[in-house]
């Protein structure tokens, strides 16, 4: 039974916010919506109920209050406007999001690795070669993500669909189990390294994160600034290289594994590999399907959506007997994450729909008077980064906030727009570290059982400060040189 105060805290926070008069320039209905959103975030942090239940309750409350929190008086007064239909369409919109289903498919990939035995085989191979120290395993995960990042625009496909299904088999080899005190033995460290690494690689490459090309197109249309693949990499390489070289060590210090390593583990892994013998039919089938998915994610991006690829592979896994439909139905973790992330995408989209995000960005921009161009760029970049606490999708963040920030920047005398645009775009990957729903792979690692909510929110804030701090300290002087 959760403490009573944890159950009461979310509605109390929501009510307290709602009772405060709406800030100047923001419609009351939008402020009431924000009050509900604040209550949901409080619930996600404290977890008086499972995260999926908190998200579902939040959507339900908004739907019940629909006419008062989702729509303006002008919308409600329109003759052809049907509030009941609009409310239900909004409430279910998150479940039509492609990233939500890609995350679900990633759990099915992991299930395939587990049922076939391929995941354990690959994990044993990794441990045999790099398992003497937990730190070297952290570097192995980081390098694996880096190798495929330039060719995999979906970081969900890359990290949640390719990296996670393999590394989830590693902790058990060290007696580190999910949802158990032994999680900190090494599993927690390894999972945090995986999500951290993919946020860095998503920043390094224009093709490392699906919203990056969208951001470049918005920059071109809004500010008439062109950013090529090479220009992006040249701008982000110094920060990315420094962070990738130090990331496993930073995690090792700030979120240390209890087990540092030992020479006996690789020897044991070699013995276990001998016991497994040759690859089974199911392992071979899954390996072929995974390579097919990876190939389509890398080469077929312009022809077929990453989610379409993932769902197709899941269907083939069932047809070929790698997993059964009962296996899929029994995967509570996957279905729980589907509801959790689907509701959060819906709730986050509402902030943009009611105009809260636009108001916040313009309010901050209006306070830039008197700042130097450099300081204004730094402040706006920080605001752009921190606003992501209100989003469950980087794509939605880019679409809703980037044009506003570019417009605000263009109105400040002396700002170098190519430099400013690059500063904003470069934060899209690293902002994925902030919350358990900040980017596609986040819910998968959060749902792994190795990263409790308290740890995830705390580490997200700490690493968020480290990432944005390093980004500005390295990037600002570097951008001044190349622009």
DSSP 107-132: HHHHHHHHHHSHHHHHHHHHHHHHTT
Please enumerate, as own/partner, the contacts of 266-272 that have beta carbons within 8 Å and a separation of 24 or more. Answer: 266/127, 266/128, 266/129, 266/131, 266/132, 269/124, 269/125, 269/127, 269/128, 269/131, 269/173, 270/128, 272/124
Contacts of 76 (CB under 8 A, 6+ apart): 67, 83
User: Among residues 438, 441, 418, 433, which one has the least CA distance to residue 464?
Assistant: 433
Q: Per-residue pLDDT for the chain (483 aa), expressed as one digit of tens each?
A: 567 888 899 999 999 999 999 998 899 999 999 999 889 888 887 878 888 898 899 999 999 998 889 988 888 888 888 888 999 999 999 898 887 888 788 888 888 888 888 877 887 887 788 778 889 989 988 988 888 888 777 788 888 888 888 888 888 888 899 999 999 999 999 999 999 999 999 999 988 888 888 888 888 887 888 888 889 999 999 999 999 999 999 999 999 999 887 677 788 788 888 888 899 999 999 999 988 988 888 777 668 888 898 899 999 999 999 999 999 999 888 898 889 878 888 887 888 888 887 887 778 777 776 788 899 999 999 999 999 998 877 887 887 788 888 888 887 888 899 999 999 999 999 999 999 989 989 999 999 999 999 999 999 999 999 999 999 999 989 998 888
User: Among residues 337, 295, 365, 342, which one has the least CA distance to residue 445?
Assistant: 337
Residue 379 near residue 371, CB atoms below 8 Å:
yes
Model pLDDT, residue 2? 62
Model pLDDT, residue 301? 63
Model pLDDT, residue 254? 96
Model pLDDT, residue 62? 94
Expressed in angstroms, the distance from the first to the final Cα of the chain is: 57
Q: Give the three-state DSSP class for 60.
A: helix
Please enumerate, as own/partner, the contacts of 363-372 that have beta carbons within 8 Å and a separation of 24 or more. Answer: 363/23, 363/25, 364/408, 365/404, 365/405, 365/408, 365/409, 365/411, 368/408, 368/412, 371/412, 372/414
Residue 6 CB neighbours (<10 A): 15
3-state helix, strand, coil in the chain (%, to 5): 75, 0, 25
- What pTM value is reported for the model? 0.77
């Amino acid at each position: 039974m959760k403490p009573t105060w944890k159950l009461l805290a979310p509605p109390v926070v929501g009510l307290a916010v709602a009772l405060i008069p709406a800030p100047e320039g923001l419609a009351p209905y939008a402020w009431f919506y924000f009050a509900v959103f604040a209550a949901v975030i409080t619930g996600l942090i404290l977890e008086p109920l499972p995260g999926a239940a908190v998200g579902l309750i939040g959507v339900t409350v908004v739907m019940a209050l629909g006419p008062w929190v989702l729509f303006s008086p002008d919308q409600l007064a329109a003759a052809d406007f049907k509030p009941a239909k609009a409310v239900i369409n909004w409430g279910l919109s998150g479940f039509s999001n492609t990233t939500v289903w890609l995350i679900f498919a990633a759990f099915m990939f992991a299930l395939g690795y587990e049922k076939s035995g391929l995941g354990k085989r690959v994990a044993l191979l990794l441990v045999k070669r790099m398992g003497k120290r937990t730190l070297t395993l952290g570097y192995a995960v980081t390098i694996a993500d880096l190798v495929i990042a330039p060719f995999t625009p979906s970081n969900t496909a890359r990290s949640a669909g390719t990296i996670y299904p393999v590394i989830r088999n590693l902790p058990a080899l060290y007696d580190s189990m999910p949802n158990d005190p032994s999680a900190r033995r090494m599993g927690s460290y390894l999972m945090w390294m995986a999500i951290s690494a993919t946020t860095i690689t998503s920043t390094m490459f224009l093709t490392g994160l699906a919203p990056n090309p969208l951001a470049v197109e918005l920059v071109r249309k809004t500010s008439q600034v062109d950013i090529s693949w090479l220009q992006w990499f040249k701008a982000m390489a110094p920060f990315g290289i420094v962070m990738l070289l130090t990331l496993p060590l930073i995690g090792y210090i700030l979120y240390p594994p209890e087990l540092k390593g030992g020479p006996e583990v690789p020897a044991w892994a070699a013995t276990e590999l001998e016991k497994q013998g040759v690859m089974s039919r199911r392992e071979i089938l899954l390996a072929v399907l995974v390579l097919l998915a990876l190939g389509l994610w890398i080469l077929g991006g312009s022809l077929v959506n990453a989610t379409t690829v993932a769902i197709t592979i899941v269907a083939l896994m069932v047809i070929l007997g790698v997993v059964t439909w009962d296996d899929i139905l029994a995967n509570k973790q996957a279905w729980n994450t589907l509801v959790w992330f689907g509701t959060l995408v819906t709730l986050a989209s509402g902030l943009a729909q009611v105009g809260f995000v636009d108001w916040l960005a313009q309010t901050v921009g209006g306070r830039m008077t008197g700042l130097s161009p450099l300081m204004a760029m730094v402040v706006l970049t920080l605001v752009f980064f921190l606003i992501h606490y209100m989003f469950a999708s980087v794509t939605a963040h880019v679409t809703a906030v980037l044009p506003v920030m570019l417009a605000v920047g263009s109105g400040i005398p002396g700002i170098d727009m190519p430099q400013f645009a690059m500063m904003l775009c470069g934060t899209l990957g690293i902002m994925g570290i902030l919350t358990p729903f900040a980017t596609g792979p986040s819910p998968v690692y959060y749902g792994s059982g190795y990263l409790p909510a308290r740890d995830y929110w705390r580490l997200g804030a700490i690493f968020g400060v480290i990432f944005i701090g390093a980004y500005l300290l390295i990037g600002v002087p570097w951008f001044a040189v190349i622009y």
